[in-house]
Amino acid sequence: MDKQKKGKVNNRGFSLIEVLVAIAILAVITLPIIKAFTTSGVINKKAREVENANTAASAVVEDFKSLSVRQLKEKYKYKYDDATGVYEFTVTDEEESFYRGVNGEEYAINVTLDPSAYEDSIGQNGEHENNPSNNINSYDMPSFASLSTQKDYIIRDEIYKWDNDAKGTLGIRIHDFDEKKMKRSVIVNVELSRKENSYNDNTVTYIQKVNGKVVYRYSGTYDLEYDFSLEDTELVFNREGDLFYVSGENGVKNVYLFYIPYDAEASELVAGQDNTYYADDNIVINYNYDNTAGTEYSDLNVYIIPQSVRTEDNRSIIVNRENIEININGLNIDLGAYGTVDLSSGAGIEGPVNIYSNIYGWSEYKAEGNNKSNGLTVNGSPGGEKYLYEIRVDIWSDGDSKEAGEEPVVTVVSTKEN
């Protein structure tokens, strides 16, 4: 009987060509994966660099916002441009030539403080044009979104909450009542006084009070008055040498008055302005502080920030600067004669109270050579610091990158109140 043939096992293995083909296929499959991992690693590294640089930028911005320009000049090296009022600071760690980041990065950081207007409107020829409606010193409401009642007095709702009540009350009293004949005035009283029995060799306590009233007048005959008062603030100041320094830098609160014109029937046309009219509203600011020996006051700041309104017939209504009355320690400040700038020159009273505003034409209340670019008034000497600055923070990964003219890793822009 023939033996049945059995199948043989093929033990010859893969040929070289087959191995090479397999390697080629594997390479085609794996190389994109490896490249993806490599690219992802680079992207993640770059993202971490940007994130850490942003963290450093935020810390620098907060530092610059919390200190006055004078304090910044004492802390950092800087350059100053007389013509533009621009400061350029080099931010470093103590006794180092760089700024160290959260993970020990040695950043090179420049900070620019620019008091001039934004120029983000592009003209027909591609050049930048000044855009006053988006001016760093225009006091648009978003610029003050970060105001805190912990460090500032903010007067806003205290004014408007009486409008409807006043209309209702006068409407009942007056026959043929017409709300368009109503006018509104606001009186703001700020007092900074030494607390009784609070003085000793090392400290002194002051009380800051803010109160006032809203007055509605109908057709020049009927008056309604509503009082308002904000919470008192107790402030403790330490002796520095022979003096106690009582100032905004040391805790005295700024006072912000946000005001919307009430006189919708305004009829006085603003010269040189199309379809813009002056409201008949009045604002009175009374600032009183103890003139006590051994105390030096500075930066007692009040900000009058009116917002224009537009009527149904498309007229713009604004506050009239001639209807603003300023009294400092009982002395009326004749704004039309010499303003509140450089009162120490002898044209007015020397003092620490600063009245800032964006009221139309307020820029004319200034001394020649002082605050030319922002129209704010400050009771200080010519050449003194301006109030609002654009902060620009540029961060390079190291000093070599900066010196080589490379683009910053991060650029952050914000606004500083001096």
Q: For residue range 318-366, what is the model confidence (pLDDT) as tens digits?
A: 899 889 998 888 888 766 544 343 333 344 445 688 777 778 777 665 5
Q: Please identify every stretch of the chain with a pLDDT value under 70, giving residue numbers as ranges.
A: 1-14, 32-47, 94-97, 102, 116-149, 334-351, 363-388, 417-418
pTM attached to this predicted model: 0.58
The overall longest dimension of the chain from CA atoms, in Å, is 141
CA 339 – CA 347 distance, rounded (Å): 9
CA 408 – CA 401 distance, rounded (Å): 8
Identify the sign of the CA torsion 121, 124, 128, 131.
negative
59 φ/ψ angles, rounded to the nearest 5 degrees: -65, -40
CA 106 – CA 285 distance, rounded (Å): 50
Domain ranges (residues) in the chain: 17-115+396-418, 147-385
Q: pLDDT at position 190, please?
A: 97
Q: pLDDT at position 184, please?
A: 92
Residue from 329, 255, 317 nearest 292 by CA: 329
Residue carrying structure tokens 């794996």: 30
